[in-house]
Amino acid sequence: MTRPFRFGVNMVTPASGTEWSKRCERAEELGYDVILVPDHLGMVAPFPSLVAAAEATERPRLGTFVLNTGFWNPALLAREITTTDALTEGRLEIGLGAGYVPEEHERAGLPFLPPGERVGHLARTVEALEGLLGDESHAPPATRRPRPPLLIGGNGDRVLRLAAEHADIVAFTGARVQKGAMIALSAEELDGRVAAYRGFAAGRDTPAELNVLLQFVAVTTDRAAAVRPLLPYFPDTTEDELLKVPLVTAGTVREIAEQLRERRERYGFSYLTVLDPYMEALGPVIEELRGT
């Protein structure tokens, strides 16, 4: 069964209270289903920002995209989750990841563990949260049992295996970290990652929702010109190859809508997220896809 599209906007740009509220109101007007907040130093703190987003809107869900579990103790995180879920009237979706920016850990005075240990901490956090949030004696009490919907983000086998076991939503990054830089996955590489996840999830009763972050959106009649400024960020990639990268989408509104339908068919990506600088650009595409 093909899932209907769902759209999220990841609010990476800090703002004052009034500006924040207006931006969240605009996201709702454009048809976004989820307002998301990342977990990076230099950006807004996730949980108070989501409470403010809830006060400014009525319909969208609110989510973290994604929490760096290396910053969090599970017991303290459970308190944040139950409080925020209550204050947002049960609209919270919780997104977790292993973290990937060593400089942020250094600034925070926290160790940046090797990849395997970061994933191990993510796994322990997921398991601890399921126990804490499912405990009827937990204070403050959980609004929903056993917990709010859980998103796990990442591409490695261990993270995908964890997501297959626990997550309601799986977020594929569409990129990998290589020598400190983010390198976009090709369409074929992402095929492999999705196939790996599907293998791990073969025994699930209920399929998870699959998400991808679109890191560039351009409504244009000249697709090649639109992506040309991105070439320095994608070493050894031609314009034609870049136009096929799954985290990039460019073209007319109808062309972009068709690209997203094709990616849903190919990968199963029905939940699409954009960064807030591209929030307006995707708006007409949301309207086009809702109409069909």
- CATH assignment at residue 47: 3.20.20.30
In a domain, 286, yes or no: yes
d(CA 269, CA 50): 24
In a domain, 263, yes or no: yes
Q: Which residue has the tokens 């309601």?
A: 168
Q: What is the pLDDT of residue 232?
A: 86
How does DSSP classify residue 185? P
d(CA 95, CA 125): 12
Mean pLDDT across the stretch 273-290? 97
Split at pLDDT 50, 70, 90, the class of 179 is: low
Q: What is the pLDDT of residue 126?
A: 98
Split at pLDDT 50, 70, 90, the class of 195 is: very high
In a domain, 53, yes or no: yes
In 102-233, alpha helices (H): 102-108, 115-133, 157-166, 187-200, 223-227
The predicted-structure confidence for 70-101, as pLDDT tens digits, reads as follows 999 999 999 999 999 999 999 999 999 999 99
Split at pLDDT 50, 70, 90, the class of 233 is: confident
In a domain, 131, yes or no: yes
**Residue range(s) defining the domain that contains residue 52:** 6-290
Q: Mean pLDDT for the chain?
A: 95
Cα angle 238-240-246, degrees, rounded to a multiple of 5: 100
Structural domain total, the chain: 1
pLDDT at position 106 over 80: yes
pLDDT at position 185 over 90: no
Split at pLDDT 50, 70, 90, the class of 182 is: low
In a domain, 1, yes or no: no
In a domain, 272, yes or no: yes
Convert 12-28 to b/e letters by CB count within 10 Å (16 or more is b).
Answer: beebeeeebbebbebbb
Q: Backbone dihedral region of 175: left (phi > 0), alpha (psi from -120 to 50 degrees) or beta?
A: beta
